[in-house]
């Protein structure tokens, strides 16, 4: 059975739920297997558990849009790292708090 896995430079549209209307740019996989995304346009680092990502893709909550050009993706990576390092609201989908 196919298990969805985000790839570098991928951007996803959020079509349902608390983040509807935003885009998630995949940045990296954590050591625990969760995924780091940068939320656009808010520029908030988002931690998405692997199971939540799989559920979101299978149920069309997250819809793949495209692979970003390398320069654009590089800017998203830098912004994620800057905001994550500054502790600008890293948000986990396991959290009850809305961004």
Render each residue's pLDDT in the chain as its tens digit; 99 residues: 456 889 999 999 999 998 999 999 999 999 999 999 999 999 999 999 999 999 999 999 999 999 999 999 999 999 999 998 887 655 666 554 444
The span from the CA of 39 to the CA of 9, in Å, is 13
pLDDT of residue 89: 57
The span from the CA of 91 to the CA of 72, in Å, is 22
pLDDT of residue 81: 93
Kindly report the pTM of this predicted structure. 0.85
What's the CA angle centered on 61, arms 55 and 62, to 5 degrees? 90
The span from the CA of 62 to the CA of 2, in Å, is 16
pLDDT of residue 87: 73
State the burial class of residue 81 (Cβ atoms within 10 Å of its Cβ: 0-12, 13-18, 19+): middle
CATH class of 10-92: mainly beta
Q: 37 CB contacts (<8 Å, ≥6 apart)?
A: 6, 12, 24, 25, 26, 27, 45, 46, 47, 48, 80
Q: Centre a 10 Å sphere on the Cβ of residue 16 and count the other Cβ atoms it contains.
A: 12
């Amino acid at each position: 059975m196919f298990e969805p896995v985000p790839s570098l430079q991928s951007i996803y549209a959020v079509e349902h739920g608390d983040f509807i209307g935003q885009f998630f740019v995949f940045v990296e996989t954590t050591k625990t297997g969760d995924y780091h995304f940068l939320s656009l346009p808010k520029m908030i680092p988002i931690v998405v558990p692997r199971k939540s990502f799989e559920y979101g893709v299978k149920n069309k909550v997250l819809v793949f849009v495209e692979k970003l050009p390398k320069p654009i993706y590089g800017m998203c990576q830098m912004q994620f790292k800057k905001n994550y390092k500054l502790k600008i609201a890293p948000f986990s989908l396991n959290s009850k708090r809305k961004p």
